[in-house]
Amino acid sequence: MPDQTDAKYATEPYLRHIMLDFRQMTEFVKEPFLVARADGIRFWDVHGKEYLDGLAGIFAVNVGYGNPRVLEAVRKQLETLPFNPPMHGTNPRAVELATLLAEIAPGDLSTARLVDSGSEANEATFKLVRQYHRQTGNPGKYKILSRYLSYHGATGNAMSAGGVGYRKTLYEPTSVGFFHTYPPYCYRCPYEKTYPDCQVFCARTLRTTIEWEDPRSIAALIVEPISNTGGIVTPPMEYLKVLRQLCDEYNILLVFDEIITGFGRTGSLFAANTFDVVPDILCCGKGMSSGYAPLAAALIREPIAQAFWGAPGREFAHGHTYAGNPVSCAAGLASIREIVERRLPENARRVGAYLVQKLEALRPLGIIGDIRGKGLMIGIELVEDPATKKPFAPEVKLGLRIGKQALANGLLIRYDPHWIAFGPPLIVTTEDIDQMVAILEQSIREVLRKL
């Protein structure tokens, strides 16, 4: 059992001192949620209540909680070397990690720029792509093309690239040179077309956007292969291939934000493998260290990294105190080895297929419009009428209600006003899925009764 004295921190006098992510504290203090302890795919709150983690924290804890190999690696590294002077050099674990990443990453993504978070990985990338073009004779390439409904992080340029809601609009105007196009949201196609008749118009029409914005001014196109924040927006298989062709044609660097999709989440080690497209830069984080220490990276194709070798001044002018720190790297090495050696991507594919099957069985509840995603990243769009795709009125916020009810019933999932999603640790079994879906079903029934 957790230390019961921690329960006191779940009270307003203490919570007055903290500001949480995306949480209205006025509401939070009424129903505080403080996790005290975790093991495997379960965690317990400060009152001792048990939960199933259907979201791996936030698509992060891919190897599950309490993994002995990762724990041991971190403990050993803390004893050996907790930190090194980052501006003067690095440490063996960082180089070892970069070498491992080069080995397992698709294509010639063979250089890692290690950082501490997904936002930082994307932020570094936006600087890196501009510098790359400057150093290869295309100094005019500065614009970053991204998509509405995307999320690329919380910091300045990462937020500018993001394409949804109050996470961004509260802080506008954003940086200059970021512009947006429509995502491959097939269930409600922004172009009012139907796959496959559309021949992925959303990807093909990017040519016009590129031409009209001037290809000589565009540095990079960044996409999440499957995007979470918009509701597990999952493209048709050929979508990313079309983007790859267009980027090649116009010398635009293709960046995959794989912070969520990386390290087995979609049923392959990377979504790049799942969709069989190699980006120029692949940003990853979360599952990389399974959340045991803050760790992320931008993986860079060999010819691009090459442009940063040479005379002084050509190096990447970028740094963070904790980037590539030995403890995070040790956690990353252990987490990645667990994922690879225990074939967790394969498990994600197998158990993910089972999850989809179980969710399909919930369609008779009459509120499931669409089930989408890959591997263990599966979203459900909730609608009032599945036949016509008619959404619920905005004030219904069914997804929020279901998500909160599920949490009350001991299951953590991702929830938004009109969709919910699963992203459990990749070690889940079909039995775990049975349990999770049973709680979800019960929660939906409870919410619908109150509707």
Partner 1 sequence: MPDFIERGDGKPHVIYPRTSAAQMRNGITVLTSGDGMRVTDDTGKEYLDFVSGWTRPVHVGYRRAEIAQAVHDQIMQLHYYTPMQYGNPRAIELAQVLAELTPTGITQFLFVSSGSEALESALKLARHYHYYRGERWRFKVISRRGAFHGVTGGALRVLGSVLPVRHLSEPLAPGGVFAESPYCYRCPLHLSYPACDLACARDVERLIQFEDPAQIGVFVGETIQQGFGAVAPPPEYWPIIRQLCDRYGILLVVDEVICGFGRTGKWFGVEHFDLAPDMLLMAKGISSGYMPMGALGATEAVMAPVDNFANLQTYMNHPVACAAALANIEILKRERLIDNARVMGDYFLDGLKLLTCYEAVGEVRGIGLWAVLDLTTDRSTRALFPADRLERMVQRAKEKGLIIKFMHCALEFAPSLVVTRGDIDLALRIIDECLAEDARAH
Spell out where 195-252 has E strands: 218-223
**Max CA distance (Å), the chain:** 69
Residues with Cβ < 8 Å from 442, sequence gap 6 or more? 409
Closest CB to partner 1 among 9 and 148?
Answer: 148
Taking the complex as a whole, how short is the minimal distance between the CB of residue 165 and partner 1, in angstroms? 8
Of residues 196 through 215, those in contact with partner 1 by CB under 8 A are 201, 205, 208, 212, 214
Closest CB to partner 1 among 114 and 158?
Answer: 158
Residues with Cβ < 8 Å from 438, sequence gap 6 or more? none
* Residue in 107, 156, 177, 386 binding partner 1, rule: CB under 8 A: 177
Closest CA to 136 of 286, 304, 254: 304
Q: What is the DSSP string of 11-57?
A: SHHHHTT---TT--HHHHTTS---EEEEEBTEEEETT--EEEETTHH
Spell out where 245-366 has E strands: 253-257, 281-284, 296-301
**Binding of partner 1 by 169 (CB under 8 A):** yes
Taking the complex as a whole, how short is the minimal distance between the CB of residue 177 and partner 1, in angstroms? 5
**Binding of partner 1 by 148 (CB under 8 A):** yes
Residue 403 CA to residue 443 CA, distance in Å, equals 8
Closest CB to partner 1 among 140 and 366?
Answer: 140
**Binding of partner 1 by 187 (CB under 8 A):** no
Residue 9 CA to residue 421 CA, distance in Å, equals 29
* Ordered strands of the 50-53 beta sheet: 35-39, 42-45, 50-53, 411-412
**Binding of partner 1 by 417 (CB under 8 A):** no
Show the binding pattern over residues 394-413: x = contacts partner 1 (CB under 8 A), - = does not.
--------------------
CB-based contact 376:353 (threshold 8 Å) = no
Closest CB to partner 1 among 193 and 404?
Answer: 193
Closest CB to partner 1 among 11 and 208?
Answer: 208
* Residue in 174, 251, 430, 442 binding partner 1, rule: CB under 8 A: 174
* Residue in 113, 130, 152, 180 binding partner 1, rule: CB under 8 A: 180
**Binding of partner 1 by 251 (CB under 8 A):** no
Q: Which stretch binds partner 1 (CB under 8 A): 59-67, 186-194, 257-265, 303-311?
A: 186-194
Closest CB to partner 1 among 83 and 191?
Answer: 191
Closest CB to partner 1 among 86 and 156?
Answer: 156
DSSP annotation of 241 reads: H
Place of tokens 């995070």: 328
Residue 145 CA to residue 60 CA, distance in Å, equals 26
Closest CB to partner 1 among 42 and 147?
Answer: 147
**Binding of partner 1 by 216 (CB under 8 A):** yes
CB-based contact 2:48 (threshold 8 Å) = yes
**Binding of partner 1 by 192 (CB under 8 A):** yes
**Binding of partner 1 by 80 (CB under 8 A):** no
Taking the complex as a whole, how short is the minimal distance between the CB of residue 298 and partner 1, in angstroms? 24
Binding site for partner 1 (CB under 8 A): 142-143, 148, 163-164, 169, 172-177, 180, 190-192, 201, 205, 208, 212, 214, 216-217
